[in-house]
Amino acid sequence: RFVPGLGTILCMNITLVRGDITEQDVDAVVNAANSSLLGGGGVDGAIHRRGGPEILDECRKLRASHYGGGLPTGQAVATTAGRLPARWVIHTVGPVYSASEDRSDLLASCYRESLRVADELGAASVAFPAVSAGIYGWPMDDAARIAVGTVRAAQTKVADARFVLFDEDAYAAFERAV
Ligand code: AR6
């Protein structure tokens, strides 16, 4: 918003929602994808199931045109959202958790890059899952701390950032992080 004397101030609302990310009425939903971009389980499976085959078609085209070797960990790319209420899906690849190597920067990069892509699209509202905190094994409290800290600190025009948590434990971890 524009404040006389101060210029433009970017304000972001961060909200926590308990629910299913595929049902969110936002401009863009973030997918916890893998580098193949060709689908999988968890959030990825739900998004492709509910969104329909258009999403996979665009993912295949992206692989052929830009990401022959797959989308690198920590990066993000957008496709249509098919039949989802959202307009776009932003696919990002979280790091697999490692107890012996600190991969926090890569996890933070998923959120920063997703917001950068959202800005490019002109998306004002974005729903995030707890990237890496499912099949990729990241401890939920740590994943939540990185997610909230990174989104809060980001320079972005996104006004509504929503974390959509599937179960009570994830919701409680994000509440602690906020
Ligand atoms: N809405 C919101 N959150 C969900 C949903 C949903 N519909 N479904 C699961 N979650 P995950 P990752 C939660 O495994 O750890 C796939 O096979 C889930 O409970 O989806 O980054 C990809 O293709 C957990 O808290 O993502 C990759 O191979 C969080 O979302 C791999 O899994 C993330 O869990 C990525 O694993």
Binding site membership of 52 for ligand 1 (Cβ less than 6 Å): no
What is the predicted pLDDT for the residue at 11? 82
ipTM topping 0.90:
yes
Active site residue 105: no
What is the predicted pLDDT for the residue at 9? 63
Q: Give the burial class of 17: count Cβ atoms within 10 A of its Cβ; 0-12 exposed, 13-18 middle, 19 or more buried.
A: middle
Binding site membership of 93 for ligand 1 (Cβ less than 6 Å): no
Residue with tokens 């389980």, as numbered in its chain:
41
Ligand 1 nearest-atom number relative to CA 94: 21
Q: What average pLDDT values come out for the chain (178 residues) when binned by 10 residues?
A: 64 95 98 97 98 98 97 98 98 98 98 98 98 98 98 96 98 98
What is the predicted pLDDT for the residue at 7? 64
Binding site membership of 171 for ligand 1 (Cβ less than 6 Å): no
Say if CB 13 and CB 159 are below 8 A apart. Answer: yes
Mutation choice for ligand 1 from 96, 135, 162, 165, CB with most ligand atoms inside 8 A: 135
d(CA 57, CA 93) in angstroms, rounded, equals: 18
Phi-psi region of 7 (alpha: psi -120 to 50; beta: other; left: phi over 0): left
pTM listed for this prediction: 0.96
Pick from 28, 13, 32: nearest CA to 166: 32
Q: Which of 20, 44, 141, 169 is catalytic?
A: 44
